[in-house]
Structure 1
Amino acid sequence: MRSSDNVLKRKQANKMSVGLKLPLAVLTDSYKATHYLQYPPSSKMVAYGEFRSGYARDKADTRLVFHGMRYLVEQYLSRQWTESDVTQADTFFRTHMGPDNSKFPFPRGMFLKFVNENQGYFPVKLECLQEGTCIHPHVPVYQITSEGEYSTLCTFMETLLTMVWYPTTVATLSRRCRDLIEEAFEKTVDLGRESPLLGSRLHDFGFRGCTCVEQSILGGTAHLLNFDGTDTLSAAYYAQFVLNNGVPVASSVPATEHSVMTAWATEKEAIDNMLEHFGAGIFSVVMDSYDYAEALSEVLPSVAAKKVEKGGFMILRPDSGDPLEAVLAALHAAEKVFGADVNQKGYKVPRGCGVIQGDGIGYDSLSKIIDGVVEAGFSLEACAFGMGGGLLQRVNRDTMSFATKLSHIVYKDGSTADLMKAPKSDPSKASLPGILAVRRVDGVPTAFPADAPEMQHVDNLLQVVYDGRPCKDDWEDFTGVRRRVAEEWSALPKTANVISHGLRHKMVQIAHDRRVSAEN
């Protein structure tokens, strides 16, 4: 790739920067600014990040889709700090003190030093998995290394980097939903998993439920790893022009909302207008502005002739009531008004009409609706789903229990220690010790000590993406990441032991040594 192309890509990424222009020094937790005084004198520190559980503590299927580090590297870690940033932060921290403290600690001198000597780039090395890598909990997804006079800044950026929990969780949820839909497609659709309709069956309705534009980009893009249907334009644009060299990755269809339907004298007039403008293609009409049952029994038959004449595909959208009952009512109405064919697998497919359910959709309700549709004898190709808050908003860091922990230190005297958190009150929060590496064992990404014999002459899946300055301009395009997710997810066993024997032995030894030390 030409250097001019790299510069252009970086400029495109920077143009996507959204939100408040805050000094980088305050894009962390307050206590992080004090840790440089709390760590013991050292010449090197290493920390890593991991998910400690599968989605929603599911023990039967712990697979997850790692995604979102590119955004954090390009938007934040690769930004150059300025003397103005440091001055602003110093001014702020002078006022940010609790009772009986004269000044809140802030390493002003250390920050000014790398501003002047490192062109303002934050002085750490970051390694991470490739975007779209499918793993199990406890596999390190990134590793941070800081050295020399900057060693105590190792975990300063933890707050920002930890935010990779969000796109990873959304990507994982979306993929799990795709599993539900794929299974039903395989059972009820002639082409099964190979059907071109599959990618449009779960549509992102979540933009308006997001807390900010940035959330919509991160979560919306994560969903697009698995599906190509979205109304979250911010994500579709970002994925297309920043991540995929301008190649489209998402689409939508014209659709009414309640405001449109109620603006006309009757729902029939609103639908007639849609048919006039979009009747030859695919379009969606919300049907419950007044009386959903009446709209299906009276209004739909009244527009049937014009709809058939136009020749397009009409999608009925309920938006209230019991989700399963609403979907089945629409399917039965479509069958009654337009007729239905029975496909090769014995399931009914209404002619030129389907339904999209976008109200109350989450993983569990999606599963229930799919089961109900199949039980009623309909092919799932007649159904699509819109997922809003359940997709982009109803998740948090604890959904897959993400954490970053210090794992290795080289003290000033040259001695070293592999560090491990191991709380008796919650063993599930134990961390991994030492400098870490990841390799595949029988296709499964597995955590090893970096110096393990098994890591010799083997590629470490943790790749350097930032080394004291931006160093990666060849991020894989979005199409490639999508392909990786599809291939790795289906190939990965639903559960696996991902801590190598050598690493587990080290954990046992450290715990033993700590007990002996405490007893003495």
Structure 2
Amino acid sequence: MYTSNFSNLLLNIDSYKASHWLQYPPNTEYLSYYIEARGGKFDVVAFGIQAFIKEYLLKPITQQDIDDAEQVLIAHGLSFNRQGWQRLLDKHQGFLPLKIEAVAEGTVLPTSNVVCQITNTDPEFFWLAGYLETALLRAIWYPSTVASISYFCKQKIKQALLQSSDDLSGLSFQLHDFGARGASSLETVALGSLAHLVNFKGTDSVSALVAAKRWYNSNEMPAFSIPAAEHSTITAWGKENEKFAYENMIDQFAGENKIYSVVSDSYNLWNAVSHIWGEQLKEKVIEKGGRLVIRPDSGEPIEVVCRTLEILADKFGYRVNSKGYKVLPDFIRIIQGDGINSNSIEAILNAIMQAGFSVENVNFGMGGGLLQQINRDTMGWAMKASAICINGEWKAIYKDPITSQAKRSKKGILALTKSENEWQTVRIEELNDKENQLRTIFLNGKLLIDESFEQVRQRAE
């Protein structure tokens, strides 16, 4: 019977990796690989490598790992590098003889630039860097893509606020993570929501709070949420008692400096906004204090948001700010969490302003569009070998498929430079006197740079 141990690094691979040690040229000593996002509409926000190193690379491989991996991979129909792994255990006590360089996390840079580079440090283990491709690429592409989408949305919201608002103080709470239940696994939520928090401070993914402390030395609360209703807590009162369900939310959660959110489309959103909130409960909302955030949860987002704003302005009044846009009273706002993604959010922002309202009236929640509706091709992430050393001689290697120029890979051992706001990936021999933005963060089983989440956030700012 074979193992069921998910923590075995030797089994954290695509199957074909197990046979690659037999496929390199004779006398190969070193191989260098790099990771980049090859394209897409987002700038890259690098994130996730420290989490991966802490979770998977600081523990040595064990005899049990080797024995289990051999049993699984042989039975699976593959070869197994028993001698190589045994030698690694004996010579390096199971710690990986690798050097990993990466751009500082939270760095924002254009696509088509190296963000990570990995090379073996002991020529006996030339096959090792490539063996980690499956795990390492996944560890970078997923959280970096989420951070990049979140950053893109933040820039769009910021531009809209600059146009329509006198106050940018709420920007870091303008996009809230609703993605926990729609993500594919606990680790997906932890990594993805934490990546979102590089840019914002609102989440309903509690796993991200644990991840910030576990992987990024966070001793302060990195994000916040508020009491909020779901459909069951409204519909449990019955349709005929909808008003009392809302009134209970006021009684339980309203008050000075308090914020609470109430989903209001369980039945008829327009009746709820116009008559229940705007008439029957209007005085109580005002008198109790704090801020009521009304959440529509269905319909066409542009129509729903703009019509809700119009009704609330009619029922509760508004002021006109210095930019000429309407702002609802501070005690009432909207959060739109249905149908939000990197495409729709820009259209909704524009529609809000075209309707004459400031964007500060509306917060957004993003779920699947943030954490799940992405893949490796969203930004074209890839890890490729770019240099090999055979018999002491380094040479560049690359792919250049005639059928796809987009998949052409870079050549040589790479470096990353920055001049003003210009980023450039160059070969290491072309670095000259420029500073290499790739920093050695892992060397032979040790984490060399251990940053806080606040440092990552400050970089993204």
TM norm structure 2: 0.94
SS at match of 1:374: helix
Tell me, yes or no, if structure 1 residue 287 matches structure 2 residue 260.
Answer: no
Q: Counterparts of 2:134 and 2:172 in 1: how far apart (Å)?
A: 34
State yes or no: 1:475 paired with 2:450: yes
Is the 1:240–1:249 contact (alpha carbons within 8 Å) kept by the matching residues of 2? Answer: no
Counterpart mapping for 1:68-467 below 5 A: 68-97=48-77, 104-146=78-120, 147-163=122-138, 164-191=140-167, 195-240=168-213, 242-265=215-238, 266-280=241-255, 281-300=258-277, 301-351=279-329, 352-412=331-391, 414-452=392-430, 455-467=431-443
Counterpart AA for 2:379? M
Partner of 1:512: none
Worse overlay, 253-262 or 367-376: 367-376
How many Å apart are 1:379 and its aligned residue? 1.0
CA drift of 1:222 comes to 0.9
Asked whether the equivalents of residues 274 and 312 of structure 2 are also in contact (C-alpha less than 8 Å), the reply is no
Tell me the CA shift for residue 471 of structure 1.
Answer: 3.2
Q: Secondary structure at the match of 2:114?
A: coil
Q: Alpha-carbon deviation of 1:212?
A: 0.2
Distance in 2 (alpha carbons) for counterparts of 1:23 and 1:240: 24
What SS class does the counterpart of residue 199 from structure 2 fall into? Answer: coil
Q: Which residue in 1 is equivalent to 2:35?
A: 49
Letter in 1 for 2:422: V
Classify the secondary structure of the residue corresponding to 1:155. helix
CA displacement 1:412-457 (0-9 Å, x = unmatched): 3x333210111110011111111111121333231111122xx244
Tell me: CA distance 1:35–1:274, structure 2 relative to 1, closer, same or farther (3 Å): same
2:343 aligned counterpart, secondary structure: helix
Distance 2:376 2:97 in 1: 27
Instruction: Quote the Cα distance in structure 2 between the aligned partners of 1:110 and 1:39.
Output: 14
User: Which secondary structure state, in structure 1, belongs to the residue aligned with residue 97 of structure 2?
Assistant: coil
Distance 2:352 2:369 in 1: 21
Q: State the shift of 1:30 in Å.
A: 0.7
Q: Is the 8 A contact 1:44 1:410 kept in 2?
A: yes
**Structure 1 residues 345 and 416: CA distance shift in structure 2, 3 A:** closer
Unaligned runs of 5+ in 2: none
13, 20, 25: which one pairs with 1:35?
20
1:49–1:403 CA contact under 8 A, matched in 2: yes
Residue aligning to 1:513? none
Show CA shifts across 1:57-116 (max 9, x none): 33xxx522111111111111222110000000011112101xxxxxx2111121122122
Q: Give the distance between the partners of 1:35 and 1:161, measured in 2 at CA.
A: 17
Tell me if the contact between 1:241 and 1:247 (Cα under 8 Å) persists in the aligned partners: no
Residue segments in structure 1 that go unaligned for 5+ positions in a row: 1-18, 98-103, 487-520
Pairwise CA RMSD = 1.5
Distance 1:159 1:200 in 2: 34
> SS of 2:246's equivalent?
helix
Distance in 2, matches of 1:421 and 1:242, equals 35
Q: Distance in 2 between matches of 1:286 and 1:391?
A: 21
Post-superposition offset of 1:329: 2.3
Measured in 2, the distance between the counterparts of 1:464 and 1:242 equals 18
Partner of 1:515: none
Q: 1:64 and 1:240 mapped to 2: Cα distance? A: 24
1:367-415 Cα shifts (integer Å, max 9, x gaps): 1111111111111111000000011111100011111111111113x33
Secondary structure of residue in 1 paired with 2:113: coil
What letter is aligned with 1:361?
Answer: I
Determine if contact 2:400/2:409 at 8 Å carries over to the other structure. Answer: yes
* Contact persistence 2:58–2:447 (CA under 8 A): no
Cα deviations across residues 126-158 of structure 1 (Å, max 9, x unaligned)? Answer: 111110111122211111111311012220001
**Alignment TM-score, normalising by the size of structure 1:** 0.84
Q: Secondary structure at the match of 1:356?
A: strand
Give the Cα separation in 1 of the matches to 2:456 and 2:393.
Answer: 41
User: Aligned to 2:126, what secondary structure does the other structure show?
Assistant: helix
Contact 2:36 2:114 in 1 (8 A): yes
Structure-2 residue corresponding to 1:100:
none
How far, CA to CA, are the matches of 2:9 and 2:214 in structure 1?
26
Is this contact kept in 1: 2:264–2:272, CA < 8 A?
A: yes
| Equivalent pairs, count | 449
Whole-Å separation in 2 of the counterparts to 1:50 and 1:81: 28
Aligned to 1:101: none
Contact persistence 2:51–2:216 (CA under 8 A):
no
